[in-house]
Amino acid sequence: MEFAKTYNDGHMGPRRFWRDMLPRLKYYNPAIPMIVNRKETNEGTAVMSVYFRKDDAPVAAGQEPVVRVQPPSSAIDASKAVDPAADERVVKIDMKGKPSDEIFNHFLAETRAQPVQTTPEEEAEMREVVEMQRQGAIDREIQRVRVEERRRERAMLERARTAGAA
């Protein structure tokens, strides 16, 4: 992925994709290198390059796949996408000005990837999290009211002390 550090000029979608969806992709695909190059300026494109091994590239039996040196991710525009090897093809996805969901749908279409379906346990856990968030909002409001009441009491006591001293 290559996009700007800031979200202006159509780089918000790529930034949201990087923050929300790339960690999930990396979690479910730990062996696949994913390199992020963040540019200093918003000029130019925001592009995702997806490398595929060509179907017609023969792999000899017992032969180890070629290991390619991958550059590290960079926040200073130092990790440009490498040129594809002879046995690879590259699909470039233009991300500039597109929301993260649209980028993800385009990624799924290009890679023919299948989204991982949530299990019943995960759905139950997500419902628990939503319920805890709802209860947390209620508890925060109760606590806010209590703190405000204590502040009013302290202010009344302070006014009474200053009035009594005068």
| CA–CA distances in Å: residue 121 to residues 118, 129, 133 | 8, 12, 18
Of 78 and 134, which is predicted with more confidence?
Answer: 134
What are the tens digits of pLDDT across the range 86-137? 778 888 888 888 998 999 999 989 888 888 888 999 999 999 999 999 999 9
Q: How far apart are CA 14 and CA 5, in angstroms?
A: 10
> Is residue 83 within 8 Å of residue 53, measured between CB atoms?
no
Bridge-based pairing state of the strands 88-94 and 47-53:
antiparallel
Q: CB neighbours of 118 closer than 8 A, spacing ≥ 6? A: 126
DSSP-based three-state secondary structure for 155: helix
* Beta bridge pairs of residue 93: 48
Output the pTM of the full model: 0.63
Does the pLDDT at position 157 exceed 90?
yes
Q: Which residues of 71-108 are buried (b: 16+ CB within 10 A; e: fewer)?
A: eeeeeeeebebeeeeeeeeeeebebbebebeebbebbe
> Is residue 50 within 8 Å of residue 82, measured between CB atoms?
no
Which one-letter amino acid corresponds to residue 16?
R
What are the tens digits of pLDDT across the range 47-73? 888 888 876 555 555 666 566 666 677
Class of residue 38 by CB neighbours under 10 A (exposed 0-12, middle 13-18, buried 19+): buried
Query: What percentage of the chain exceeds 90 in pLDDT?
Result: 31
Q: How far apart are CA 37 and CA 73, in angstroms?
A: 6
pLDDT (0 to 100) of residue 37: 85
pLDDT (0 to 100) of residue 62: 61
- For the chain, the C-alpha Rg in angstroms (whole number) is 26
Mean per-residue pLDDT for 141-157?
A: 97
Stated as kind and residue range, the H or E segment containing 141 is helix 120-165
